[in-house]
């Protein structure tokens, strides 16, 4: 009963086995996913939108990622826990990236970190990997750059597709153990997946990636409002939880709760 390792994920690609990844931001939810057999959990900076009430991932801090990573690690025993490096924690350079990643591994207990960027982040990835920290890369749409790129499909057109392929090869050469591709045309993602020996993890990147990731509040139907096209909802937790809260409120107001069986003599 050991944790999944990056070696297991490399073997899965060799065997042609696909695997799922979900985000998690707290111990209890993470334990549900761990028990369900999800092999890789990402403490994503999507916690900014989904858990902390920010508009984007940009304001998320190292303290926030470290605290929630520690919670997810405590709540799990099988899953490989990957922690996102937040915006501003690695852009200054390789030494800053190593300091930030070391904290998430050493203090929070992450088994790997993820950072955004292809060619531009290869130097950081290289030092982290040489220092013994497994790195998951993230290319295509990179939400920490929202103010520069918006939330649009990336890698459209021949030139952009070639750049995406160069980015994927750069992070693989730097030693990344897997590459997230976000909002990329399916045929381009398929070509990148073919070209790499490390697994690709798609989100809005079509059917042919080696793995798939979704933000858990999206896939469980807890996130309010319109969701991106690439999300599939597997539950309707927002409705279920709202109904529970309304039923509790009604019981309290009417005096139906607590009943004798909830009370002490």
Query: Min. distance of Cβ 261 from Na ion in angstroms?
Result: 45
Q: Which of residues 165-204 bind ligand KIV (CB under 6 A)?
A: 180, 203
DSSP notation for the chain? -PPP-HHHHHHHHHHT--EEEEE--SHHHHHHHHHTT-SEEEE-TTHHHHTS--SSSTT--HHHHHHHHHHHHHT-SSSEEEEEPPTTSSTT-HHHHHHHHHHHHHTS--SEEEEE-SGGGHHHHHHHHHTT--EEEEEES-GGGHHHH-S---S-SHHHHHHHHHHHHHHHHHT-SEEEEES--HHHHHHHHHH-SSPEEEESS-TTSSEEEE-HHHHTT-S-SPPPTT------HHHHHHHHHHHHHHHHHHT-SS-GGGS--
Out of 4, 23, 144, 199, the residue judged to bind ligand KIV by CB under 6 A: 23
Asked whether position 34 contacts ligand KIV by CB under 6 A, the answer is: no
Asked whether position 115 contacts ligand KIV by CB under 6 A, the answer is: no
Residues near Na ion, by CB under 5 A:
44-45, 84
Q: Is 250 a catalytic residue?
A: no
Query: Min. distance of Cβ 90 from Na ion in angstroms?
Result: 12
**Which of 35, 94, 107, 182 does the annotation list as catalytic?**
182
Query: Min. distance of Cβ 64 from ligand KIV in angstroms?
Result: 12
Out of 45, 64, 167, 191, the residue judged to bind ligand KIV by CB under 6 A: 45
Q: Where does this chain bind ligand KIV (CB under 6 A)?
A: 23, 42, 44-46, 84, 138, 180, 203, 213, 215
């Amino acid at each position: 009963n050991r944790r999944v390792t990056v070696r297991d994920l490399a073997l899965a690609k060799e065997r042609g086995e696909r695997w799922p990844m979900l985000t998690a931001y707290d111990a209890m939810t993470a334990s549900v996913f761990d028990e369900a057999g999800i092999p890789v959990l990402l403490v994503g900076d999507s916690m900014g939108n989904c858990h902390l009430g920010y508009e984007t991932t940009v304001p998320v801090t190292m303290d926030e990622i470290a605290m929630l990573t520690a919670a997810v690690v405590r709540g799990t025993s099988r899953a490989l826990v990957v922690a996102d490096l937040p915006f501003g924690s690695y852009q200054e350079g390789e030494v800053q990236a190593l300091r930030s990643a070391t904290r998430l591994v050493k203090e929070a207990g992450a088994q790997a970190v993820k950072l955004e960027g292809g060619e531009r982040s290869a130097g950081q990835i290289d030092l982290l990997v040489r220092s013994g920290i497994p790195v998951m890369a993230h290319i295509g749409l990179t939400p920490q750059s929202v103010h520069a790129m918006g939330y649009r499909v990336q890698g459209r057109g021949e030139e952009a597709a070639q750049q995406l392929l160069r980015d994927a090869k750069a992070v693989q050469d730097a030693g990344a153990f897997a590459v997230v591709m976000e909002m990329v045309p399916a045929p381009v993602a398929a070509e990148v997946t073919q070209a790499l020996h490390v697994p690709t993890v798609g989100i809005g990147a079509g059917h042919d990636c080696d793995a798939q990731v979704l933000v858990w509040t999206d896939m469980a139907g807890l996130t309010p409002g319109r969701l991106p096209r690439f999300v599939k909802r597997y539950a309707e937790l927002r409705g279920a939880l709202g109904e529970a809260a309304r039923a509790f409120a009604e019981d309290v107001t009417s005096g139906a709760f607590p009943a004798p069986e909830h009370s002490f003599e």
